Amino acid sequence: MVQSLTVNLGERSYPIHFGADVAPAVRAEVNALVAAGRKVAIVTDRNLARTQRDALHAMFGEQPMLVLEPGEETKSLAELGRVLDFLAEQRIDRGGALFAAGGGVIGDLAGFAAASYLRGIAFYQVPTTLLSMVDSSVGGKTGINLKAGKNLVGAFHQPRGVFIGTKLLATLPPREFAAGMAEVIKTGLLGDADLFAQLEKAPLTVESPELGAVIRRCCALKAGVVEADEHETAREGGRALLNLGHTFGHAIEQVTGYGHYLHGEAVAIGLAAAVRLSQKLGHVNATEVARVDAVLTAHALPVKLREPLPLGPLMAAMARDKKVRAGALRFVVLKSFGNAATQGAVDPLLAEESFREVGAI
């Protein structure tokens, strides 16, 4: 049975559909578009094309599909060009629609292509990883990476619909599931203390009966944040809170070249660093830092770098973060479990100490 919630953004509002198997719902949407004379195209990655071939066929039939290589390196200018050329080759017009079937990389890349092609066409998210289900598929942030930093090029382009089917997680590698749990843990820390407490009691797994409810809970919280601050323009708090752990995490990804750590793994280390910074700022205590480390570890996530990274390049990467305003970096800090805040004017030495405590040198 498929259930839905709505992201309320006026004329840009859209539904998020939840169920074990959403293939019939996706196929119904595709058929309705085609029946209305609108062309449809799909972008996915090679891993999904191999492990979920039947599901892809059930959702999209014989509609044209571009299969890209998996991995963060695909979020590049070169691959954006491939998607745009694909749309042109299929003669997609302004009435056409692009479906992004895959994880966060595919969703971000295809969404940005949809925002750019013909100055904007409709697109739909069909997330197939836990991370993309609870985070990147909702909210309309699309984009690609540059050598200078992560997600530095992109657009706000809301999907027309999101289809979240937990059955698709059956073939997800354990490491990828764990990476998604970093965003679930982040959600508990920034706005749902009860969820964090639930994760402390027992680790969430792909077999957990409450998995679907947890995914919906994360999406509902993110939808509320996006509704209040769609374009991340709030002077304090707002949508920036969703980046808890990401200022540190994105720096790790950039310095290691986007291939060494999965996004969720870098975010997990970033959460460990962010809670340490929060302790140095007097918001949380050592016991709470240990609790965050314990939950991350229980979900097979790292709390320290696998090998030391030089502090200089990490801090330089931070300085290029999107949350920099007027040359000053803002951090998302934990005031208490379930309560995060943005904070500027943070002594860089405190950030450096926090990075050192998770393995920087």
Active site residues per annotation: 119, 141, 183, 222, 236, 239, 243, 246, 250, 263
DSSP string covering 263-299: HHHHHHHHHHHHHHHHHHTTSS-HHHHHHHHHHHHHT
Which amino acid appears at position 77 of this protein?
L
Q: Can you give 147-202 as a three-state secondary structure string? A: CCEEEEEEEECCCCEEEEEHHHHHHCCHHHHHHHHHHHHHHHHHHCHHHHHHHHHC
* Residue of 76, 288, 94, 84 lying closest to 197 (CA atoms): 288
- Backbone dihedral region of 344: left (phi > 0), alpha (psi from -120 to 50 degrees) or beta? beta
Half-sphere exposure of 87 (CA within 13 A, CB side): 29
Measure the CA angle with vertex 183, ends 2 and 115; round to 5°: 70
Alpha helices (runs of H) in the chain, residue ranges in sequence order: 23-35, 46-51, 53-60, 77-89, 104-116, 130-131, 174-191, 193-201, 211-228, 246-255, 263-280, 286-298, 311-319, 348-357
* Residue of 135, 149, 140, 145 lying closest to 104 (CA atoms): 135
**Residue the block writes with tokens 């077999």:** 207
Q: How many CB atoms lie within 10 A of CB 228?
A: 11
